[in-house]
Structure 1
Amino acid sequence: MFRTLARSVTSLARGPRAILSSLIARSLSEYFLLDDDQERIESTLSSSEDEDARIVLQNAQLREKKFLSEINKDVAITVNGIVEEVKFSWKWALNGNVRVAYNGRSRPESSSIIQNTELSVKGFILHIYFEQLSDLTDEEREALLSQVKKDDNGFAALSPSINIKKQGFLETYVQQIIDHLTLSVESFRFHIHVKNEPSTIMIVGKSISLGTLKSAKISTGIDTSTTLLNQILNISSLSAFLQRADAILIPIIEPFAYNISITRFAGTRFKGGILSGLE
């Protein structure tokens, strides 16, 4: 406890860059088994003098998560998996050199400390298990119910261990990350298992990307107040199969591609779910 407190006080004394470095490192540790890598990641990020920063994880194991289904509270869901590569990159706005269109003129935006954030995932294998809550042991059921917390912040809740809402300055920094984030997933498989069912459903994808109009036009160096409101979703190939116990695959959904531009008309990005506030 004292070690964590000391690190937090040190981060506050070192300014917003150190605070964000600590937040990012702890956020990654919430979702991946990092062992001792958390402190190394935090130290590397906060001490780097480069404008460009990135974190790369190889063969990262996901922390197993258990929660209740939002649709049926009698169903328990367990999620685990592995990722071949996770890369989180961004640019520190050391000189406030992002330019925004304002009254027909270009002016620098100095309030954003972090820009051009990109989260890319490669070789993502996810297993999702469904079972009745009544099938769990008393200890498993009690542990699950005690940790269930409804999270309506989506990506904004980057780290459950940090109360972001009570720290306005931290919430602002996190929102900057979210507003500028481009998410891309390359080569993924989702395996859906139902207890006592020999067959599984397998969803296979080639690539999915979700960005903003600002990300698409970043080479111009100019953006408007509406660019962050326009979301661009691209699915290059997605298909689904029923995998029998004998490993034979039966097609359910033939491969398809999809591309759409949507506008966020309310709320903040990802808050309340990935599609919340979009039309």
Structure 2
Amino acid sequence: MQWLELTVQVHPEAVESVSELLSTYTSDGIVIEEPYELSDDGQEYRILHGQPVIVHAYLPMDGKEEATKQQIAQGLWHFTSLGAHFVGELQTCVVNEEDWANAWKDYYHVTHIGKRLVIRPSWREYTPKDEEVVLTLDPGMAFGTGVHPTTRMCLEQVEQKVQPGMRILDVGTGSGILALAAAKLGAASVYAIDNSSVAVESAQANAALNDLTDRIQVVLGILDEAEAERTAGQYDLVLANIIAHIIGSIAPQLAQTLAPHGLLVVSGIIEARRPDAEGPLLEAGLELVEEVKIDDWLALVYRKRVSSPSVSEYQ
């Protein structure tokens, strides 16, 4: 099978908006290629923050790709109102499935996150040091390898917040990277959900790769009202590394799934879009307890709001 690869260079502040646009036209994955420099003979890298980011999307060559490309180009044109430097010209090329299956691996290297976490692509060798927790990852076409600031911040929160025996919900699991980290850090169970079949297959494969299928359940679906009601109050930690307006649209469901003492970690939020997520989360009865920022990306931590006792409760 052949694919039409769509590539556009964007300013870091435009990554979320461009990725959202592209994802409406393809269900087969978005690749965010951040600028980096290699070290340790090419096994590790450092992200060059603030420099242009390259976003890739892939359309199947099914006779509809040219029309879809024109729609995407028109959508990208509207971003030029932000300034010519925000979104570059759309580039395209045809790639064979077998070429894509290996070429994308060049973008991924061993990544150290937080104090203990190490992300090891399955095709690279790494010898862990004392106390390190190694996640072996084969992301395929699913987003989430620890490279992007939103994933990095979420992983740091997972490392800090997970306690042995916790029940955890991972909404929009992607490659399953957050679920893997939670399980390896001692969570009793992780329920991972995604509306992309590509992501579900990738997350299931990664759970098996790390011998965690007994503690990670990956399902195809969405966190709708029925799902939230079924799992109401069950989760000690809920993770949602998606995008701001999607987080806002499911804020009541996210709040409903939290146990009374539970915490919600949301990310995928660029600062300018913060109100899209935060307003609905506050309306859902949550309160902000912590926030982390890398460049213009945010990770926010919430808990259920504790009501002040009424006068009658003291009598």
TM superposition score normalised by structure 1: 0.27
The structure with the largest helix share of the pair is 2
